[in-house]
Amino acid sequence: MGSRERSVDLGDLVLSLAPVANSPLGGVLKCSQAVDCAALVEALEASPEALTDALNDSQGLLLLPDMDGISSDPELLVRLSRLCGPEVEDYKQTLTHEHLIHPDVPEVLVLGNQPPSNRKPPPRPEPAVTEEGELPVQFPHRRGWHTDQSFRRPPPDMSLFYCVEPSLKGQGQTLFANGTAAYAALPSDLQEQASRLEGLHALLGTGRSEEAVLRGDEVKPLLAHQRSQRQPLVRRHPVTGIPALYLCEDEQMDWVDGPIIGMQTGPGGDGAALLYKLISHYTHRDFVYAHDWDAGDLVIYDNRCLIHSATWYDEQAHDRLMWRTTVRGNPGPEYAGEARSWIPAEGLKPMSGL
Ligand SMILES: O=C(O)CCC(=O)C(=O)O
Ligand SMILES: [Fe+2]
């Protein structure tokens, strides 16, 4: 169910919060009069709870359109990110390839098909549309569903995703699925089973994907900070207290020692069967919104209760450029006091050996 309409009073500015049209989740936060992006960021900073309150009232997915000012001043994206949690990731300190980091603002990850990031879109699903002629969203027809950086303990809270340049409409969308609604709609025996289990989440590129295991790739040794991490299959949201499914598929699960801890490992095991069942339920179109980007759109998504997936676009014909920040620091009590799993030991390069 979408959020109800309400106004968000920031003193000098009044914003409106309304459900995203034709979507089972999400809110749109915008100003009725034309406002400078920097002025809006300043007004939000003066009411620091307003942004996360709007997000929590919108099932963890918030769209701020017309934020074009960020393109010429990426620091505005960092300032908004600081309102979303205690810590904004500096990608220079973490497991991130140098060519994906904004040259001037290390909190900004640059995801585009052009150099230097050279990120290719995912393949087109096969067939490209459903029997009803619609964009495929449900796993396994649609692949690539994940929550950001789930290979880390503690995992991050939120991502802010900003569109500098969209591809063609109807292509290069980002899909979001609502883990809270999906959990609530599970039969109670599956809710109970999932609540007792943990998934094993892998860092991309560590050779532990379902595909790598099916191909019979040699299992590489990993440095301690690159190893897969367990995460509960059901997380209680630290702010709202509501349970949500928490899992990924293929590349972000560990198919050597997982995907589900304590169950048969590898593709074809009973862990795989449960993961397939849960992720295809999670990504049923009743729980999914496909965001078709416009330049200047900012989408804030809560990684603790949503998963997302990129879609194909024709990168020969169209460029696409996106910026992302990641916010962490409020993962919930089950992670209290834990050291960060992904921090390399003294003197080690984060990406060495990968
Ligand atoms: O490009 C997209 O639409 C999604 C990319 C993504 O998953 C991410 O940046 O975390
Ligand atoms: Fe992502």
Confirm whether 351 is domain-assigned.
no
Q: What is the DSSP letter of 252?
A: G
Confirm whether 259 is domain-assigned.
yes
Cα 134 to ligand 2 centre (Å): 23
Q: What is the pLDDT of residues 193-234, one digit of tens each?
A: 999 999 999 999 999 999 999 999 999 999 999 999 999 999
Range of the domain at 310: 6-335
Q: Is 119 in the pocket of ligand 1 (CB under 6 A)?
A: no
Q: What is the CA radius of gyration of the chain?
A: 20
Q: Is the pLDDT of residue 82 over 50?
A: yes
Q: Is 111 in the pocket of ligand 1 (CB under 6 A)?
A: yes
Cα 268 to ligand 1 centre (Å): 28
Confirm whether 239 is domain-assigned.
yes
Ligand 1 atom closest to the Cα of residue 144 is 7
Which of 174, 204, 300, 326 most suits a substitution to test ligand 1, by most atoms within 8 Å of the C-beta? Answer: 174
Cα 290 to ligand 1 centre (Å): 13
Mean residue pLDDT across the chain: 96
Confirm whether 342 is domain-assigned.
no
CB 150 within 8 A of CB 308: no
In terms of phi and psi (left: phi > 0; alpha: psi -120 to 50; beta: otherwise), the region of 268 is left
Q: What is the pLDDT of residues 30-70, one digit of tens each?
A: 998 889 999 999 999 999 999 999 999 999 999 999 999 99
SS3 199: strand
Q: Is the pLDDT of residue 3 over 70?
A: no
Q: How far is CA 122 from the centre of its chain?
A: 16
Confirm whether 345 is domain-assigned.
no
Q: What is the pLDDT of residues 148-188, one digit of tens each?
A: 999 999 999 999 999 999 999 999 999 999 999 999 999 99
Residues with CB under 5 A from ligand 2 (ion): 148
Ligand 1 atom closest to the Cα of residue 159 is 10
The phi, psi pair for 172, rounded to 5°, reads 60, 30
The CA distance from 231 to 251, in Å, is: 15
Which of 161, 299, 319 most suits a substitution to test ligand 1, by most atoms within 8 Å of the C-beta? Answer: 161
Cα 325 to ligand 2 centre (Å): 11
CB environment 148-183: b (16+ within 10 A), e (fewer): bbbbbbbbbbbbbbbbbbbbeeebbbbbbbbbbbbb
The model scores a pTM over 0.75: yes
Confirm whether 350 is domain-assigned.
no
Ligand 1 atom closest to the Cα of residue 308 is 7
Confirm whether 347 is domain-assigned.
no
Q: How far is CA 310 from the centre of its chain?
A: 10
Q: Is 148 in the pocket of ligand 1 (CB under 6 A)?
A: yes
Domain count, the chain: 1
CATH number (domain holding residue 154): 3.60.130.10
Cα 41 to ligand 1 centre (Å): 23
Confirm whether 346 is domain-assigned.
no
